[in-house]
Chains A and B, each alone.
Chain A
Amino acid sequence: MHSTATGFRPRMAVLAVIFLLTFFSAFFIGRYQVSAGDLFDILSYRFLKLLSGIFDFNLKTPVTWTSQAESVIINVRLPRVTAAAVVGAALSVAGASYQGMFRNPMVSPDILGASTGAGFGAALAILLSFNYIFTTLSAFAFGLVAVTLAWAVSRVSKLNTTLSMVLAGIMVSSLFSAGTSFIKLVADTEEQLPAITYWLMGSLNSIKSKDALFVIVLVIIPLVPLMLLRWRINLLTISEDEARSLGINTGRLRLVVIICATLMTSASVSVSGMIGWVGLVIPHFCRLIFGYDYRRLIPAAALMGASFLILVDDLSRTISTSEVPLGVLTAFIGAPVFVYLILIGGADREH
């Protein structure tokens, strides 16, 4: 059977519908019961209110819901579900981009040390008893520092770009994870150590509207250039000589992709903690369904990653009385799925 170009539009539409269904159904999950009517009324009321603020018209909608319902939906579930969607999309798109850039489908978004750097930044902030916002900012900043360091080392290396970046990434990652271990060692075992450990396992438990906004902005901004350049990302997967003979300077494109993918990864990790596997498994599944072309791979990875992480977050809220960390769940789901992919021969099989 051949994958025909015409089959992709319906598949993308199905994926978009699945995303919308997962997104809105996630609002019903949790201890406080929400009715579909309330959800629709409250979300549309808030949306219109936002518009009325911008376009300056009077809003006359009767309030038929309790303030408690509004608070749960707007202050708790909306930030959480959006953050799950954005983080899932970001990790998947970053993973897909890094994979193309390293010409290796086994690469995950933390290849250049963004996650371990962010983990160190968060641990350091918790050790220094910074508040929640500064912990997020510190995680984000150290994620960027780690990747910059790896990139700088690879620039002066005499090895070829890809190999030197992978090696520099390993070096930086292990440096920062040693730093994290040291902080855990000296941290106060009553409060700081559990906080660090919990942070590192990944969770959207304590997400606030402000964090959701922070991650949305820092993911959407780099997503725009990646979407615009997505056909050109294909050119990073062929050899540098070939790309150059086709008339493109890959150095600049590579740098743009690194910056965008790193911003997305660091922003995600800084609000959600470390969530593995998503950036590795989702792009693989997308290739299985949409083929290798980044024109389709980037939007597909965004939609599938968002839906996947919303579902995983639903699980983390429901399977036990206390929340199960997201990183633990994605590993439990990701590892068997990956074994399955290995067994069927990955996305390389003819479809």
Chain B
Amino acid sequence: MSIEITDLSFSYEKHQVLHNIDFSAHDGDLVAVLGPNGVGKSTLFRCMLGFLKPQSGEIIINGHNIRDMDSRAVAREIAYIPQSVSPAFNYTVQDTVLMGLTNQLGTFRSPKKEHVERVLSILDSLGIAHLRHRGCARISGGERQLTLLARALIQNAKVLIMDEPTANLDYGNQYRVMERIGSLADKGYTIIFSTHDPNQALLHTSRALVLSDGHVLASGPSKDVLTEDVLSSLYGIDVSIHDLNYGDSRCMVCTPSAAAS
């Protein structure tokens, strides 16, 4: 299972958003995509999902070129988890997750009992089975994010793309959602998500892709890539990285340098 992007460029009419992007991710990779607002993270994701047709470059998902795939074929390989926003219609958690079966059911078919059982086992594995009859508009943002994650999992795709999965979540929920995502990567899913928090990338991810002005600024193992120089130039503030040792554990955190003075 892999996604490989070579020399990808994309422009909206005259405005070029992505310049010669090279990037790949494989089984079990948890990749954070970092970059300031408007840098092209969403555009990159939309290309990877086949929503946008890049002007040049190739995207190969599990050996298939995305140019030759229709939305059904893309949905078999890659699932998308949007930002958790309160929905217009208050579907229950269970009904929301069932929608992930679209690709596996014929046009005139609807989910049956065995599908509901699959939903329950996925909800159970994410620890939200007790919410199944609750309306999605009435659960917390973190619970809603896990519901959307469950919808992506029932889709049976092995590559997951997440648009700021922890945006608008409180500190506890951010951690809980990242833990779930991390354990999915351990099971072999390839997960690519965008975030505005470099500490999240340092703490949870194996790899990072740093975008600046539509170019790849850095790409590789998170702890090697997210250096003081890269973060400082990325966000336009001085950033220091600290090594924390406690007991047997060791982790890296970054802070603005000015905060230390």
A interface residues, Cβ below 8 angstroms from B: 2-5, 100, 103-105, 228-232, 234-235, 237-239, 241-249, 291-293, 295, 347-348, 350
* B80 shortest CB reach to chain A, Å: 4
Closest 5 CB pairs of A and B: A247-B75, A245-B80, A231-B110, A247-B103, A2-B133
Of the listed stretches B15-23, B84-92, B195-203, chain A binds: B84-92
| 71-119 of chain B: CB within 8 A of chain A | 71-72, 74-76, 78-80, 82, 87-92, 94-95, 99-100, 102-103, 105, 107-111, 116
* B160 shortest CB reach to chain A, Å: 11
Please, which residues of chain A bring their CB within 8 A of the CB of B100? 246
Please, which residues of chain A bring their CB within 8 A of the CB of B95? 234, 291-293
Report whether A348 and B90 are in contact in the complex, using a CB–CB cutoff of 8 Å: yes
Report whether B155 and A246 are in contact in the complex, using a CB–CB cutoff of 8 Å: yes
Contact A350:B49 (CB < 8 A) given known A104-B88, A241-B82, A292-B90: no
Give Cα distance in the complex from A199 to B237, angstroms. Answer: 70
* A237 shortest CB reach to chain B, Å: 5
Report whether A242 and B80 are in contact in the complex, using a CB–CB cutoff of 8 Å: yes
Please, which residues of chain A bring their CB within 8 A of the CB of B87? 237-238
* B224 shortest CB reach to chain A, Å: 32
- List the A residue with the shortest CB-CB distance to B95: A293
27 A/B residue pairs, CB under 8 Å, sorted by A:
A2-B134, A5-B94, A5-B133, A100-B89, A104-B88, A228-B108, A229-B108, A231-B105, A232-B107, A234-B99, A237-B91, A242-B80, A242-B82, A244-B49, A245-B71, A245-B74, A245-B78, A246-B100, A246-B155, A247-B76, A248-B102, A248-B103, A291-B95, A347-B90, A348-B90, A348-B135, A348-B138
Interface size on B, residues (CB 8 A): 39
Q: Is B235 an interface residue (CB 8 A)?
A: no
Q: Is B128 an interface residue (CB 8 A)?
A: no
Report whether A292 and B80 are in contact in the complex, using a CB–CB cutoff of 8 Å: no
Please, which residues of chain B bring their CB within 8 A of the CB of A293? 91-92, 95
Give Cα distance in the complex from A232 to B100, angstroms. Answer: 11
Q: Is B12 an interface residue (CB 8 A)?
A: no
Contact A245:B49 (CB < 8 A) given known A348-B135, A350-B134, A350-B135: yes
- List the B residue with the shortest CB-CB distance to A242: B82
* A288 shortest CB reach to chain B, Å: 11
Give Cα distance in the complex from A244 to B78, angstroms. Answer: 11
- List the A residue with the shortest CB-CB distance to B85: A239
Please, which residues of chain A bring their CB within 8 A of the CB of B94? 5
* B88 shortest CB reach to chain A, Å: 4
Contact A350:B88 (CB < 8 A) given known A229-B108, A235-B102, A246-B100: no
Report whether A348 and B137 are in contact in the complex, using a CB–CB cutoff of 8 Å: yes
Please, which residues of chain A bring their CB within 8 A of the CB of B79? 245
Give Cα distance in the complex from A5 to B110, angstroms. Answer: 15
Q: Which of A103, A237, A292 has the most CB of B within 10 A?
A: A292
Give Cα distance in the complex from A249 to B107, angstroms. Answer: 11
Q: Which of B71, B78, B79 has the most CB of A within 10 A?
A: B71
Contact A350:B138 (CB < 8 A) given known A235-B102, A241-B51, A244-B71: yes
* A165 shortest CB reach to chain B, Å: 15
Report whether B88 and A249 are in contact in the complex, using a CB–CB cutoff of 8 Å: no
Report whether A3 and B133 are in contact in the complex, using a CB–CB cutoff of 8 Å: yes
Report whether A234 and B91 are in contact in the complex, using a CB–CB cutoff of 8 Å: yes
Please, which residues of chain A bring their CB within 8 A of the CB of B71? 244-245, 247-249
Contact A247:B80 (CB < 8 A) given known A229-B108, A293-B91, A348-B90: no
